[in-house]
């Protein structure tokens, strides 16, 4: 199987390293030649791709707009698998199916990363014990899904989660995008200064992702705006309720609010019930 990863940032670079760790040859491509040369010279890839018609599988590890531009402007092998790894899926899927394609499209989203970027921070074990989300539609070739699922297992993912693009975007707005929004808002406080000696794990958890690349994340937010704004509104409502009880000095009311949150968390923490058409395949 001939595999190429287009886009050699931290995710694309880590995919190359994980595939090579599994004993699979992999070629790479990057918009900046310096990065591709670095990947080749450091054994992250086996070669630099000049075109893509020779590859059976092409993973596209680029931001949303760049992903669509890349796919629209390159030729692929008849029947090849082209899989993007963007953090939004409805917009990408709609763009892909606007025209006939000679390849089999699979939407993916690896649920792993770091608060830093670039291939210089890539690592072979980034996906170990993580989840790979694979989205499907009425046009999806499930043999291609099975191939991507098998490659995900080889890369170290602990599970594959299959769902529609719409289900992905709704869940990811809450589990990922809202968390980044909260972290960004949290650090916009003058009390951030002089925190040395006053911070513990909760502070680190809240601030770890505040410094991510705004160019990448703003695009993801805007392409999932309806889901994300609904989640922000729900969060604001909950915060307003807590603020009101604290401002009133109402210990009983405050305890009630906090207890509601604790019980919701505890009741769902171990819940394995699948939501809608989401299916989970565990590898380990």
Question: Is a pLDDT exceeding 70 seen at residue 272?
Answer: no
* One domain, residues 39 and 88: yes
Closest to 23 in 3D by CA, of 157, 211, 155: 155
Domain count, the chain: 2
Residue 279 lies in a domain: no
pLDDT tens-digit series, residues 205-245: 999 999 888 988 999 999 999 999 999 999 999 999 999 99
Domain boundary (135, 164, 193) is at 164
Q: pTM of the entire structure? A: 0.93
Q: Which residue has the tokens 């604790």?
A: 262
Per-residue confidence (pLDDT) for residue 71, from 0 to 100: 98
Mean pLDDT of 136-152: 97
Cα-to-chain-centroid distance, residue 95: 19
* One domain, residues 26 and 127: yes
Dist. CA 84–CA 63, nearest whole Å: 9
Residue 18 neighbours by CB under 8 Å, 6+ apart: 124, 125, 126, 127, 154, 155, 156
pLDDT tens-digit series, residues 248-257: 999 999 999 9
Dist. CA 166–CA 281, nearest whole Å: 20
* One domain, residues 90 and 38: yes
Residue 278 to residues 166, 167, 241, 249, Cα–Cα distance (Å): 11, 8, 32, 43
* Domain hosting residue 100, numbered range: 3-164
- Which CATH number belongs to the domain containing residue 63 in this structure? 3.40.50.720
Per-residue confidence (pLDDT) for residue 104, from 0 to 100: 98
* One domain, residues 156 and 57: yes
Per-residue confidence (pLDDT) for residue 64, from 0 to 100: 95
Domain boundary (145, 164, 183) is at 164
Residue 275 lies in a domain: no
Per-residue confidence (pLDDT) for residue 270, from 0 to 100: 62
Mean pLDDT of 12-21: 98
Neighbours of 93 (CB within 10 A): 24
Question: Is a pLDDT exceeding 60 seen at residue 22?
Answer: yes
* One domain, residues 115 and 190: no
Q: Which has more pLDDT, 50 or 273? A: 50
Average pLDDT, the chain: 94
Dist. CA 93–CA 88, nearest whole Å: 9
Per-residue confidence (pLDDT) for residue 277, from 0 to 100: 80
Per-residue confidence (pLDDT) for residue 117, from 0 to 100: 82
DSSP symbols for 16-80:
HHHHHHTT--EEEE-SSHHHHHHHHHTTS-SEE-S-BTT-SEEEE-S-HHHHHHHHHTS-B-TT-
Residue 284 lies in a domain: no
Domain boundary (126, 145, 164) is at 164
* One domain, residues 232 and 113: no
Structure tokens, 84: 């993007």
Task: List the single range of 62-66, 214-218, 260-264, 268-272 with lowest mean pLDDT.
Answer: 268-272
pLDDT class of 276 with cuts at 50, 70, 90 = low
Dist. CA 73–CA 251, nearest whole Å: 61
* One domain, residues 143 and 49: yes
């Amino acid at each position: 199987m001939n595999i190429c990863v287009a886009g050699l940032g931290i995710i694309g670079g880590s995919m190359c390293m994980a595939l090579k760790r599994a004993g699979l040859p992999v070629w790479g491509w990057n918009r900046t030649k310096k990065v591709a040369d670095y990947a080749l010279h450091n054994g992250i890839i086996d070669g630099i791709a000049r075109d893509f018609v020779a590859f059976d599988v092409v993973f596209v590890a680029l931001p949303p707009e760049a992903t669509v531009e890349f796919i629209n402007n390159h030729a692929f092998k008849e029947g090849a698998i082209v899989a993007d790894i963007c953090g939004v899926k409805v917009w990408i899927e709609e763009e892909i199916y606007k025209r006939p394609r000679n390849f089999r499209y699979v939407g993916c989203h690896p649920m792993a990363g770091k608060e830093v970027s670039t291939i210089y921070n890539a690592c072979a074990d980034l996906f170990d014990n993580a989840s790979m989300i694979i989205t499907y539609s009425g046009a999806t070739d499930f043999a291609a899904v099975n191939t991507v699922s098998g490659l995900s297992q080889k890369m170290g993912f602990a599970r594959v989660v299959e769902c529609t693009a719409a289900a992905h975007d709704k869940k990811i707005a809450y589990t990922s995008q809202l968390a980044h929004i909260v972290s960004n808002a949290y650090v916009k406080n003058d009390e951030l200064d002089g925190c040395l000696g006053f911070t513990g794990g909760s502070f680190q958890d809240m601030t770890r992702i505040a410094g991510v690349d705004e160019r990448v994340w703003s695009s993801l937010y805007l392409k999932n705006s309806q889901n994300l704004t609904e989640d922000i509104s729900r969060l604001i409502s909950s915060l307003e309720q807590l603020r009101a009880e604290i401002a009133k000095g109402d210990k009983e009311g405050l305890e009630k609010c906090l207890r509601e949150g604790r019980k919701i968390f505890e009741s769902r923490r171990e819940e394995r019930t699948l939501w809608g058409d989401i299916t989970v395949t565990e590898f380990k």
